[in-house]
Structure 1
């Protein structure tokens, strides 16, 4: 990337000043605890916060006023009681500020363009299913690819995966991996939201197969009008997390103890990629 392109991605000075004010306000640990207490409850009185944090009322009132000055909370006087309520905009504005400062929201290419020249990606064909299911089984065997413990049937996968968004990668004349997208909801408003999967065979890992598959997947999604791709990845699967981040996916959240896998509660990282506004409608 050129220096000019990098400079174009800098935060506007006005936004930087606003975010600096927010972060400066939260440089005091007591304010962080107060904000978290109000955010969890939605609304609390100064007296309740004083008791919960074990601080004096004057100290609590001072820090609450500082939080109100930057817009994190709103104050409502009810007789002799002051109630503190969370500013709903703060719940999205503050995480957005952190993402913006850390470059998560900066413009990104769909994927790195240094794709392996010996990997070919094409639509899945009827004769590929045996290899696709074998590679699926290899992923299951790692213990960190999916909650599935048995390979779904071809019929189940065909009914789940979106037509036109099923891909296989070929390397050295063999099926080396596959990628597919599934509709997340039957509701019309979510028609452009899909959940994605990418699997690479044991013998072909670290050879650019996953990168090539994901590149095809996101470019096809952009062309076909899918505005959001999402995926859930075990935090232990660092290679997959890195691959998706390189393709413009961002971490949306950490889902603690979301489901059991072989009798053990597992966490997942939820990632999504939003289509650029410049992409075709």
Structure 2
């Protein structure tokens, strides 16, 4: 389909972008910020969104790039998925994002789609929000009134609803560096390479003497927002990661039987809630074992 008509605005600075968005918000106009467009443009073509104007952020270099800041890695909002995957800093200091981002759609989308655009779209079926929640990332946003920080646990408010106020722009994301002793894995079940995850699991595991000392688990597409599987994190403490003896019980699988606690998975053409709950339990066990080496 053909999108409804809209005005096109391309600011030359972040300050200018914040001014334009702020003025539109004050006037009550529906204005959308455009980054890579991989999520927004399909909505426009289907006329599921019909803003009065698009504000193209593509020429704002201050929103692009990856920085090693010691205790955290800062990933700019306009950094493409491909740049995240290829970044040495991300692979070494924030590897869970490199692993998850490598599963996003296909190479064409990863070369155009942006890290911040995926986050701000706030789709619970997207791969990156669950990682942000698992790692306790911090979102940095800016408006004409200044800058503020939003913890990942508060950034995803509801389905396709981030905690961005009208007139605010996502500048980037601070990813804590967990340090030595941690292992990471992203496990995803989907129909085709280009499709959204039916269920995904982001796992970070720190072990001592073969047993889990600490775990962080984020779930993709198990509710209207990404889910932090705190019940599993608690159940995994002290669990031996060694493969069980033949015929014996598997303590990892038993701990991960609580992966769907507190979730509200959707029902759609691809899967019903009970199937997604089953996948969450199975995939979480796989992700934990892979992260634990």
- TM-score between the two structures when normalised by the length of structure 1: 0.24
Q: Higher relative contact order by CA 8 Å / sep ≥ 6: 1 or 2?
A: 2
Q: Which has the larger radius of gyration?
A: 1
Give the helix-richer structure, 1 or 2: 1
